Amino acid sequence: MTARIGVVTFPGSLDDRDTRRAIRVAGAEPVALWHKDKDLKQVDAVVLCGGFSYGDYLRAGAIARFSPVMDTVIDQARAGMPVLGICNGFQILTEAHLLPGGMLGNDHLHFICRDQKLRVENADTAWTADYTAGQEIHIPLKNMDGRYVADRRTLDELEAEGRVAFRYLDVNPNGSLNDIAGITNAEGNVVGLMPHPEHAVESLIGTGRTDGLPFFTSILKKLVTA
Amino acid sequence: MARVVVDVMLKPEILDPQGQAVQRALPRLGFEGISDVRQGKRFELEVDGPVDEAALARIHDLAESFLANTVIEDFTVRVEEVAEAAK
């Protein structure tokens, strides 16, 4: 018995295959989901992957948020189903108000693609339990709209409740407030981040490190032991 | 037919690097005395039928839920005068 983890493909998604592969490498069963289907095929968790859904028209994630599949994802996430948003997926989660704050263009106005050092700030979520708090990891980062913004009260709340899940180290690559790379909801089942853990699960490719694999082993353990 | 215009701007406290880039280019073009530029979006909605209070209320809801992300943006809704006059 393993866990079934869905990966949604929107028009313009880029990393759905890599994400499904990462899920398989971790030992879970990836399930392809389609943006027009309300049906989640009885998955135990969902990953919203990177890319440029609907061309990032209007705002990154703004149109994807109203797709049929998201109606179900939003309902299920509110009911406790684990959801991970990576890059464009993070943008969709903020547009859907499953996570607070918003995403805007990088402060330097350029696309960025780099190997990014992060600190794991919260290792108690459904997606980060296989890390230890304070652990420093390297994860590829590639985005245009990676600047996390929120009002002061929201930032204070996130900091006070330990809901900043990942923070940029050494360099703030996009002007994100408080160096925020990723956050979690209060319940810990919905997590979003800009860097791409699915690109760092095999030593042969990418950074040569597997620092992203614990995302997928964390959720597998949680679902299998649940 | 009537036109309703929705203007969307980043909230004042949020950094607008595009507006800053435009502002910095102005002196090079010979425009002096512009201390700040903020860049926003304008939506022109061509409405079938009369733009009554109910229609405006629906457009307001549309702007609030979709055209603007009120976490980071402010918006205004108005009926465009020119379209009214040309009717």
> pLDDT category, A103, cuts 50, 70, 90?
very high
- At residue A89, the pLDDT reads 98
Q: In terms of CA atoms, which chain A residue is nearest residue B21? A: A109
Q: What is the ipTM of this complex?
A: 0.87
Q: Which fold has domain A4-225?
A: Rossmann fold (3.40.50)
Q: Inter-chain contact B69–A102, Cβ cutoff 8 Å?
A: yes
Mean pLDDT by runs of 10 across the 87 residues of chain B is 94 95 94 95 94 95 97 96 54
> Which CATH code for domain B2-14+40-85?
3.30.1280.10
- Is B15 in CB contact (< 8 Å) with chain A? yes
Q: Which residues of chain B lie closer than 8 angstroms to A149, CB-CB? A: 14-15, 72
Task: Answer yes or no: do B66 and A149 touch at CB < 8 A.
Answer: no
CA distances from A68 to A35, A60, A75, B37, B72 (A): 6, 17, 12, 38, 25
As a whole number, the mean pLDDT across chain A is: 96
Residue ranges covered by each domain of chain A:
4-225
Active site (catalytic) residues of A: 87, 196, 198
Summarize the confidence of residues A109-137 as an average pLDDT: 97
Contact between A66 and B66 using a beta-carbon 8 Å cutoff: yes
Question: Quick one: pLDDT at residue B26?
Answer: 95
The answer to whether B45 faces chain A, any CB pair under 8 Å, is no
Kindly list the domain boundaries of chain B, sorted by start residue: 2-14+40-85
Contact criterion met (CB < 8 Å) for A102 and B72: yes
Query: Are the beta carbons of B43 and A69 closer than 8 angstroms?
Result: no
Average pLDDT, chain B: 92
